[in-house]
Structure 1
Amino acid sequence: MNKWLLSAGFITALISILHIGIVIGGAEWYIFFGAGSEMAKQSEAGMIEPVITTLGIAFILGMVSLFTFFAAKRKGKLSLINFLLYGFAVVMIIRGLVGLPLVYLVAHPYFNELAARPLFMIVSSLFCLSLGSIYLVGLKNRRSRNPYR
């Protein structure tokens, strides 16, 4: 069993559940977790868009977590699982590396909100960078044990 991928899958599952909690928590949770004031206003107004967006993210993270658990246990063959998990790892690492500079270099209302919260941006960037790295280590360990997977 690949402990790195198992850990990554567990963390990703928790993030998925957190997104469901954001929908339940409402506007204050949207703001706290960096979704921005526009999403919070839409949530307060009872609009469906923030719910669909957030639950869509939760679903995608849940599926990535499920695929990661399959990869960690080496059971079953899922088409393109390595491609999917490497892609997710790369997205997380790019977010971790580019997120902080982006909010200071691009003039956009949402980025301006995030620039006013440097601690959030630093913590979330380090988190994304760490999670992506855990995925890469787990995938490397998986490949080194069985190069045909």
Structure 2
Amino acid sequence: MTAVKKEIWATLAGISAFLGGLLHVIALIGGADWIYFFHAPPSVVESARLGTWLASVSTLFITALMWLCSLYAFSAAGYLRRLPLLRTGLLVVAFICIVRGLIFFPLILINSAWLKRLDTFEIVASVIWLAIGIFFALGLRAVWKKSC
């Protein structure tokens, strides 16, 4: 029996998406101040302050999506059985993450007022989103090579 080689980029994508989901859960547990720190929309921060359902439901929904992305990445890496629409799923996630990571550059070129709104958190978050998108894209590339 031969060992299956695990795909490193897809593994990094899976770990990153899982940790992103976990960070959302931790922020929810941390309460309104944590949710505010992570730049949630004002309505979600207010919901956390008031204890209404919006903060919990939206945060858990985002967590579920991130963990689903993680499952697809771990499937691509060879840790799980091949999930349906694996290449399509990886392509969509890679595209969304890369666009999210790069979104501020065209906005700054179009309207320099955006530059004043950027803070360290936004810059770091964009770099992280871009890195995760690249991980997913490289994981997709490996899956595509295996299936050809």
**Given the two structures, how large is their TM-score scaled by the length of structure 1?**
0.84
Question: What corresponds to 2:89 in structure 1?
Answer: 84
Report which stretch shifted further, 65-74 or 46-55: 65-74
In structure 2, relative to structure 1, the CA distance for the partners of 1:20 and 1:104 (3 Å cut) is farther
Letter in 1 for 2:65: I
Q: 83, 87, 101: which one pairs with 1:96?
A: 101
Q: 28, 46, 61: which one pairs with 2:33?
A: 28
Question: What corresponds to 2:77 in structure 1?
Answer: 72
- TM alignment of 1:21-60, pairs within 5 A: 21-60=26-65
Cα shift readout 1:79-117 (whole Å, capped 9, x = no counterpart): 2111011101100001111146548968xxxxx8x9645
Query: What is the CA distance between 1:134 and its match in structure 2?
Result: 1.1
Query: What is the number of residues matched between the two proteins?
Result: 142
Letter in 2 for 1:10: I
Q: Assess if the C-alpha contact under 8 Å between 1:100 and 1:121 holds in 2.
A: no
In structure 2, relative to structure 1, the CA distance for the partners of 1:88 and 1:15 (3 Å cut) is same
Measured on the aligned residues, the alpha-carbon RMSD in Å equals 2.4
Question: What corresponds to 2:124 in structure 1?
Answer: 123
In structure 1, how many angstroms separate the alpha carbons of the residues matched to 2:9 and 2:94?
13
Report which stretch shifted further, 20-29 or 70-79: 70-79
Letter in 1 for 2:83: L
Q: Assess if the C-alpha contact under 8 Å between 1:97 and 1:129 holds in 2.
A: yes
Cα shift readout 1:102-142 (whole Å, capped 9, x = no counterpart): 48968xxxxx8x96452111111111111101111121122
Question: What corresponds to 1:109 in structure 2?
Answer: none
Q: 3, 11, 15: which one pairs with 1:10?
A: 15
**Given the two structures, how large is their TM-score scaled by the length of structure 2?**
0.85
Query: What is the CA distance between 1:77 and its match in structure 2?
Result: 3.0
Report which stretch shifted further, 132-141 or 66-75: 66-75
Q: Assess if the C-alpha contact under 8 Å between 1:2 and 1:72 holds in 2.
A: yes
In structure 2, relative to structure 1, the CA distance for the partners of 1:32 and 1:94 (3 Å cut) is same
Percent identity between matched residues is 30
Give structure 1 stretches of 5+ with no counterpart: 107-111
Give structure 2 stretches of 5+ with no counterpart: 1-5
